[in-house]
Amino acid sequence: MTSASRTRNSRRSSSTWSNWAGNVVSRPVREARPASVAELAETVRTAAEQGLRVKTVGTGHSFTSIAATDGVLIRPDLLTGIRRVDRRAMTVTVESGTPLKRLNVALAREGLSLTNMGDIMEQTVAGATSTGTHGTGRDSASIAAQIRELELVTADGRVLTCSAEGTEEERALFASARIGLGALGVVSALTLAVEPLFLLHAREEPMSFDRVTAEFDALHAENEHFEFYWFPHTGSCTTKRNNRSAGPAAPPGRVSGWVEDELLSNGLFQVVSSVGRAVPAAVPAIARLSSRALSARTYTDIPYKVFTSPRRVRFMEMEYALPREAAVGALRELRAMIDRSSLRVGFPVEVRTAPADDISLSTAYGRDTVYIAVHMYRGTPYRAYFTAAERIMTAHGGRPHWGKLHTRDAAYLAEVYPRFAEFTAVRDRLDPERVFGNDYLRRVLGD
């Protein structure tokens, strides 16, 4: 290792790190910015020898303390870029610190696209997959479900590669490491399935809560990607339906797109959220205003421009994955709970879906899934609301999103994840000394 890389890898930290929402603060002993897999392995090996714990942090979009550490904080901003594109296998291998927004742009230039993605693209590839980031889809699952091969640096500095086509041990690692929570090692590269660039036709329109819940199964079945937002204290929803299109492309006009995505979704929503935080009694009236602000529109564009949108209003979030057949009942319970309480909820409830997958700690493991996410504007008391919502979700066997607020522990999670013990066994084998541990992982995985 050169003196320059050694300096880059051992910079003593004189500052704190906080996440996007501002609710998690980390004070590492030092930070490292490795620029290669060899430097990454050396960073991990040295930290382990010194008895320091190691965590990698992406862009901080997790609301939990999953990336917090008092040891060595690895920033992967130099581990970026595409290693190779394999058009025969239709895969792309990408460095783990690559932001999704850069990957999406690069893939589009190559005439390629991911099949599905979440609704923002600020996260790093490894950060998004390690926490189970997902969008909505009838047939297409989370970003992690699109992984075909994974490269991992373990606690002893080894570099392992695993896939579904490897040895029995590699297959077991692959089943766990695709959503590894940062507990098994540091992901250094991912090989993702891609497909030729395609167009999506987006249809967004208001719909009543009663109609959405009554027709939920049909709306899910008839659309490749369906989701909706319900505005508490109202009977109003905004629905989104995205389906593949033969074209032609018809993106939103520059003015109309700015009005919808920036002025209304971000600018106006920032103002009304601030008013609601200052004057809680005004929240129901504000909710009625917000539910009417977004109008119906249609447009056609390449996938990442349809799936994702800017999110500049900061908030706190909790999300649970339920069996899809429990969706309507849970939503009606949530609405009834809010209506009979003194809660004032100024943020919409987001509802998305995913098909069953085979990843050990995927929130969609083994069952068709509905995601119900609740939010509160940053700085607004949220615990009473989230506690009441969590009680409803857990009554339906809900699985919390790994990167969003929840209070579940290993005892509960072992009951709702059939392969929980398999995951912890892989962890025991790869990291018996808990080099990659922290307080959050101790709670959700046990010690």
Same domain (yes/no): 440, 365? no
Q: Are strands 30-32 and 72-74 parallel, antiparallel or unpaired?
A: parallel
pLDDT > 60? residue 9: no
| Integer Rg of the chain from CA | 22
Same domain, 403 and 426: no
pLDDT category at 254 given cuts 50, 70, 90 is low
pLDDT at 336 over 90: yes
Band of pLDDT at residue 263, cut at 50, 70 and 90? very low
- The residue type of 432 is P
Q: Structural domain of residue 59, as residue ranges?
A: 3-74
For residue 138, tell me if it sits in a domain: yes
| Model pLDDT, residue 248 | 94
The C-alpha atoms of residue 324 and residue 363 are separated, in whole angstroms, by: 12
Do 160 and 251 reside in the same domain of the chain? no
Rounded to whole angstroms, the Cα distance separating 196 from 432 reads 42
C-alpha angle 240/206/254, rounded to 5°? 65
Indicate whether 1 pLDDT > 60: no
pLDDT value, residue 3:
40
pTM: 0.93
CA dihedral 104, 107, 111, 112 (to 10 degrees): -80
Residue of 52, 54, 67 whose CA lies nearest to 18: 67
Residue 306 falls inside a structural domain: no
Q: Give yes or no: residues 223 and 360 share one domain.
A: yes
Range 285-288 contact pairs with CB under 8 angstroms and sequence separation of 24 or more: 286/346, 287/231, 287/232, 287/233, 287/234, 287/345, 287/346, 288/231, 288/233, 288/234, 288/236
Which of 41, 57, 74 is at the close of a domain?
A: 74
In a domain, 363, yes or no: yes
Mean per-residue pLDDT over the chain, rounded: 92
| CATH for 172 | 3.30.465.10
Q: Is residue 416 part of a domain?
A: no
Same domain, 97 and 49: no
- Sign (positive or negative) of CA dihedral 85, 305, 364, 377: positive
Judge if 34 and 174 occupy the same domain. no
**How confident is the model at residue 50, as a pLDDT?**
97
Average pLDDT over residues 224-230: 97
Point out the domain boundary residue: 22, 51, 74.
74
Buried b (16+ CB within 10 A) or exposed e, 364-396: bbebebbbbbbbbbbebebeebbebbbebbbeb
**415 part of a folded domain:** no
Whether 413 maps to a domain, the answer reads: no
Structural contact between residues 125 and 96, judged by C-beta atoms closer than 8 angstroms: yes
d(CA 97, CA 293): 37
Question: Residue 109: which residues within 8 A CB-CB, separation 6 or more?
Answer: none
Asked whether the predicted pLDDT for residue 349 surpasses 70, the reply is yes
Q: φ and ψ at 357, to 5 degrees?
A: -135, -175
Distance CA 366, CA 360 (A): 9
Give 284's pLDDT tier (boundaries 50, 70, 90): confident
Domain membership flag for residue 412: no
The Cα 428–Cα 447 span in angstroms is 10
The proportion of the chain whose per-residue pLDDT surpasses 90, expressed as a percent, equals 83
Stated length of the chain: 447
Residues 65, 159 share a domain: no
Per-residue pLDDT, averaged over 211-233, amounts to: 97
Look at residue 313 in the predicted model and tell me its pLDDT.
83
- The model's confidence at residue 265, banded by pLDDT at 50, 70 and 90, is low
Q: Are 124 and 96 in contact (CB under 8 A)?
A: yes
Residue 16 lies in a domain: yes
How far apart, in whole angstroms, are the C-alpha atoms of residue 250 and residue 80?
32
- Give how far Cα 402 sits from Cα of 129, 155, 236, 278, 425, Å: 11, 22, 29, 31, 19
Q: Give residue 106's identity as a one-letter amino acid code.
A: A
Closest CA to 307 of 119, 45, 112: 119
More confident residue, 3 or 58: 58
Q: 87: Cβ–Cβ under 8 A, 6 or more apart, which residues?
A: none
Same domain, 102 and 118: yes
**Of 74, 99, 118, which residue sits at a domain end?**
74
Q: Average the pLDDT over 325-344 and give the result.
A: 97
User: Which one-letter DSSP state was computed for residue 326?
Assistant: G
Rounded distance between C-alpha atoms, residue 361 and residue 427, angstroms: 12
pLDDT tens readout for residues 67-122: 999 999 999 999 999 999 999 999 999 999 999 999 999 999 999 999 999 999 99
Q: Measured between alpha carbons, how far is 325 from 220 in angstroms, rounded to an integer?
A: 11
- 206, 192: one domain: no
- Going by pLDDT thresholds of 50, 70 and 90, the confidence category of residue 282 is confident
For the domain that residue 225 is a member of, what is the CATH number?
3.40.462.10
- The structural domain count of the chain equals 3
Angstrom distance (rounded) from CA 421 to CA 414: 7
CB 159 within 8 A of CB 153: yes
Residue 256 confidence (pLDDT): 52
Q: Which residue has the tokens 């539910």?
A: 291
Least confident range of 132-146, 170-184, 270-284: 270-284
Structure-token match 């906080």, residue found: 18
In a shared domain, residues 88 and 126: yes
Are 353 and 384 members of one domain?
Answer: yes
pLDDT above 70: residue 333: yes
SS3 447: coil
* 114 and 244 assigned to the same domain: no
310 and 101 in contact (C-beta within 8 Å)?
no
Tens of pLDDT, residue by residue over 16-70, are: 999 999 999 999 999 999 999 999 999 999 999 999 999 999 999 999 999 999 9
CATH of the domain at 24: 3.30.43.10
User: Which of 159-173, 203-217, 277-291 is the least confident region?
Assistant: 277-291
